[in-house]
Structure 1
Amino acid sequence: MKADIELELQLKNRKEKGGYRYLKKSDNRMIDFSSNDYLGLAKIKEIHNHSVNFIDNGAAGSRLLSGNKNYHEELEAYLADFFKADSALLFNSGYVANLGVLSSVPQKGDTVLMDELSHVCIKEGVRLGRAKYFNFKHNDIKDLEIKIQKADGNVFIVVESVYSMDGDQAPLRDIVEIAEKYEAAVIVDEAHSTALYGKAGFGLSCDLGLENKIFARIYTFGKAAGAHGAAVCGSRTLKEYLINYSRQFIYTTALPFHSVNTIKNGLKYRRDNPELWEDLKLKIQLFQSQLSQNVTSLDSSHPIQGIISEDAKSTVEFADYLNQSGFDIRPILSPTVPKGKERVRICLHAFNSEEEITNLCQHINQYFQ
C-alpha cells in the first residue's frame, strides 16, 4: 500500500540518521542498570501477593459507569493521606494523568509556562488544551519570571520535580515563590521522586514542605513504587473538576483490583523500609566516585545517571559495548534529548551490588581511556 511505502521511507531515514528505535527484551543474564525500578519493589513477591480474597480481574467499566469500586475509593483516601493532600484521583498511568490535567484545567485565555525539558506527556497535554503555552529555560528562574510577566489570564507553571533524562531537581522553592508573587498555579510531575524522597517516600514536594503551595501534584507508581497507575493530588475542587471534565478519566476503563492493591502494598513497603533509599543514596555516591575525570557524566544525585556522548552513532556504539560486557543499559537519542546531548542512561538500584557498580565504572573508564 502507498501508506506503507511512505512509512518505510521515514523508517529508512531514521535508520540512516542513527536514531532508529526497536523493541528489545531484557536479558536476565545481564545486570539491570536500565529499569526505573529504583528500589526493586517490582520484584518483591509480598507486595504483589494474591492472598487477599478474590474481587475481580478487571473493573469492567469507567469510573463514571460500572467501574467505580470500593477499592478505588479506599486507595484514593489512603493516597490523599500519604501524600498530604485534600484529595487524590486515580489515573491509569502518569502519562495519562498529565494529559488529563493539562488538557482540561487551563482554559482559553490562560497561559501555561513549562520547563523546556518537560516530558512529552506534559507537552502533549498542554497542546490538547486551549490555553496558550510557552517554554522557559530549564530550571531558569529569571527566564520564568520574564515569561510570567508577559503571560495572560490564569497562569500555570508546569515542572517535573526530578527530570527523567538528566536526574536533576527543579528549584521548587524558587518556583513556588515566583508563583505566589504573580498569583500563578504550580503543577508538579512527581514521577521520578515518588517513593524515593521523604521519610515515607512521599516525593520531593512533601519533603520540602511545599505540598500546600502547589496546585496539583501528579504521582506515578510505575517507577520506584514498583506498580502501575498514577494519582493526581490536590484540592477536592480539582478532583471534582477532573471527574467532570478530564476526558482521559471519563472515558477510560478503571484500574483493576490487583493494580490498586499493589500500589497500596508498594507504598506501605517503602514507608516501612526507609533503608532502601538510604542504601541507594550510598550507591549513587559510589558510582560517581568511581568514574574517571575524563568521563562526561550528568550532575545528578538521583538514581538516574548518564554518560554524555557526541552524537547518536557514538552513543549507540558505547551502549553496545556495555551490553556486550553484560550490562543492561540503553542509549537515549534525539529527539528524546537534544542533539549533541545524546547519552547512555544509567539507572542505579537498591539491588545493584557494590561489586556490580564498581565493575560498570571500570568498563566505562576503560572505554574512554
Structure 2
Amino acid sequence: MLHSSHPTQNVHYAIRDIILEAQKLIPKDKKILPLNIGDPLKFDFKTPRHIQDAVRESLAETSAYAPSEGLEEACLAVAQFQSQFGIPKLTAADILITSGGSEAISLILASVLNPGDSILIPYPGYPAYEAQINLCQAKAKPYYLDEGNEWQIDPDEIESLIDSKTRAIVIINPNNPTGAVLTQNVLKEVLLVAQKHNLLVIADEQVYPFYVFEGEMTMCASLGIDVPIISIGSMSKTYLVPGYRIGWIVFNDLAHNLAEVKETIFKLKRVNLCSPHPLQKAVKPALGGSHAFLSEVKEKLINRRNLLTEKINRIEGLSLVKPKGAFYAFVKIEFPIQSDKNFVLKLAQKTGILCVPGEG
C-alpha cells in the first residue's frame, strides 16, 4: 500500500471533516441545517446584483489566465480599500490576489515557517491555521482568548509564550469562532510585543470588516507601529460570494524588513499560476461600489445574534458571550458530556443541526 506523507498525518480541518462523520449517522433523506460552514448563501442571503453582473460581463470577454499577482485593477481596488480603515497609502504592488483567504494563509505560512519553528495562534481560532502549520512541520502555540473579558487577547500571555523559535503572531479580528472584536488598546499592546521581539504579525482582519455590531473595527496597520504586518482579506463573507474564491494579501512593511518574505509569497503564488481571471473582475465593483446591501445583512445578523444569545443563555448548562462581530457563536457547555465532538454528532443525528466541535 502506498502511504501518504508524514506531515499530512496531522492535518485536520474540523469545519468540513465533521461533515464526513455526521453523514454516517444522519439518514440521507433528513434535512441538515449546516451551521458548521460560514456560507451565507446557504440561508436567505444573496450575492449583490452589481457583483454578479461584473462576473457575467467578464466571462463573456475572456477566460484566459490572469497575472499571478492578480489583475492590476483588482490589486489597486484592494490597495485603495485600505484607506477606509486609516491604513497609510498603498499601491497595487503591495497587494497579492489569492484564491480566497485560505490560499493566503497557506502561502504566508509556507513562506515564513521552517520545520521546528513555532507560531502563536488564538484559541479558539480558525482551524485552517493549525492544519497549515502542521503541514509546514512547525508548531502551533496557542494563546487563549479570555472568555470572561469578551474573548479579548491577553498580551502578557502572548509575551510569555515567545521563545527563540517563534516566528509570528496570528491575530483574527473579528474572531472566528467567538465573534469577538478586539479593542484598539489590546491590538496596540500585541503589536508592541511583536515589535519588541522582532516578530511578524499575520492579521486576519479583512474578512468581516463591516460586520462589527458593537465596538470599533481597528486594523493593525492603522496604528502606525513599526512592525511587519501581513493582512489577509477575502470577498467571501462581506460580499456574499464564498464560491468565487477571491481573497488578498496586503503587505504593510512598516518595519522595512518584509522584502524577502514578500518575494517568496509571490514566488509560491506563481507556482499556483493565478486566481480565476473572470472572478477577479468582481473586486473593483465590490470594494469600490455600492455597499447599500450591507444594512439589510447587518440587520438580519444582529437580530439573529440577539435571539440566539437570549435563547442559549436561557438553557440550563449552556452559556454564550454575545458576539460583537462576524456571524459565529461559541457556546459553552457546562454539563457533563463525553466530548464536544460526541455532543455535536449526537445533536446532528437527533436534530439535523450540524455544528463544529470546539476542540476543532
| Fold shared per TM-score above 0.5 | yes
2:238 to 196, 218, 224: 224
> Measured at CA, do residues 2 and 106 of structure 1 come closer, stay the same or move farther in structure 2, by a change above 3 Å?
closer
- 8 Å Cα contact 2:35-2:355 kept in structure 1: no
> Measured at CA, do residues 322 and 307 of structure 1 come closer, stay the same or move farther in structure 2, by a change above 3 Å?
farther
For 1:95 and 1:216, locate their aligned partners in 2 and report how far apart those are by CA, in whole Å.
14
> Measured at CA, do residues 212 and 181 of structure 1 come closer, stay the same or move farther in structure 2, by a change above 3 Å?
closer
The answer for the alignment partner of 1:263 in structure 2 is 283
Residue 297 of structure 1 and its aligned partner are, at CA, apart by 3.6
> Measured at CA, do residues 173 and 305 of structure 1 come closer, stay the same or move farther in structure 2, by a change above 3 Å?
same
- 8 Å Cα contact 2:111-2:264 kept in structure 1: no
Q: What's the CA shift string for 1:192-212, capped at 9, x where partnerless?
A: 52442499xxx9443994376
SS at match of 2:97: strand
The answer for the alignment partner of 1:304 in structure 2 is 328
The answer for the alignment partner of 2:346 in structure 1 is 317
> Measured at CA, do residues 196 and 244 of structure 1 come closer, stay the same or move farther in structure 2, by a change above 3 Å?
same
Work out whether 1:284 is the aligned partner of 2:305.
yes
Residue 216 of structure 1 and its aligned partner are, at CA, apart by 0.9
Residue 250 of structure 1 and its aligned partner are, at CA, apart by 1.7
- 8 Å Cα contact 2:120-2:143 kept in structure 1: yes
1:196-215 superposed matches below 5 A: 196-197=211-212, 204-206=217-219, 209-210=222-223, 215=229
Give the letter for the 2:193 counterpart: I
Over the matched positions of the two proteins, sequence identity in percent amounts to: 16
SS at match of 2:179: coil
Work out whether 1:332 is the aligned partner of 2:356.
yes
2:252 to 235, 238, 241: 235
Structure 1: which 5+ residue stretches go unaligned?
4-16, 324-328, 343-369
> Measured at CA, do residues 173 and 276 of structure 1 come closer, stay the same or move farther in structure 2, by a change above 3 Å?
farther
2:174 to 162, 168, 188: 162
Structure 2: which 5+ residue stretches go unaligned?
4-17, 146-152
For 2:32 and 2:134, locate their aligned partners in 1 and report how far apart those are by CA, in whole Å.
39
Residue 219 of structure 1 and its aligned partner are, at CA, apart by 0.7
SS at match of 2:49: coil
Work out whether 1:179 is the aligned partner of 2:190.
no
The answer for the alignment partner of 1:81 in structure 2 is 80
For 2:169 and 2:305, locate their aligned partners in 1 and report how far apart those are by CA, in whole Å.
30
Give the letter for the 1:157 counterpart: I
Q: What's the CA shift string for 1:154-193, capped at 9, x where partnerless?
A: x421121233233334543331232234443311112652
> Measured at CA, do residues 262 and 126 of structure 1 come closer, stay the same or move farther in structure 2, by a change above 3 Å?
same
User: Which deviates more, 165-174 or 29-38?
Assistant: 29-38
Q: What's the CA shift string for 1:73-108, capped at 9, x where partnerless?
A: 111111011023522111112111111112113568
Q: What's the CA shift string for 1:99-151, capped at 9, x where partnerless?
A: 11121135689753333444333234445558776333343322211123x33
Q: Which has the larger Rg?
A: 1
> Measured at CA, do residues 317 and 265 of structure 1 come closer, stay the same or move farther in structure 2, by a change above 3 Å?
farther
The answer for the alignment partner of 2:13 in structure 1 is none
Give the letter for the 2:354 counterpart: R
- The TM-score, its normalising length taken from structure 2, stands at 0.67
Q: What's the CA shift string for 1:45-64, capped at 9, x where partnerless?
A: 332115636331242x762x
Higher relative contact order (CA 8 A, sep 6+): 2
- 8 Å Cα contact 1:107-1:131 kept in structure 2: yes
- 8 Å Cα contact 2:192-2:225 kept in structure 1: no
Work out whether 1:48 is the aligned partner of 2:62.
no
1:184-199 superposed matches below 5 A: 184-190=199-205, 192-197=207-212
Work out whether 1:137 is the aligned partner of 2:173.
no
- 8 Å Cα contact 2:22-2:348 kept in structure 1: no
- 8 Å Cα contact 1:297-1:305 kept in structure 2: no
> Measured at CA, do residues 102 and 180 of structure 1 come closer, stay the same or move farther in structure 2, by a change above 3 Å?
same
SS at match of 1:224: coil
1:122 to 122, 129, 134: 129
- 8 Å Cα contact 1:319-1:330 kept in structure 2: yes
SS at match of 1:223: coil
- 8 Å Cα contact 2:320-2:331 kept in structure 1: yes
Work out whether 1:294 is the aligned partner of 2:316.
yes
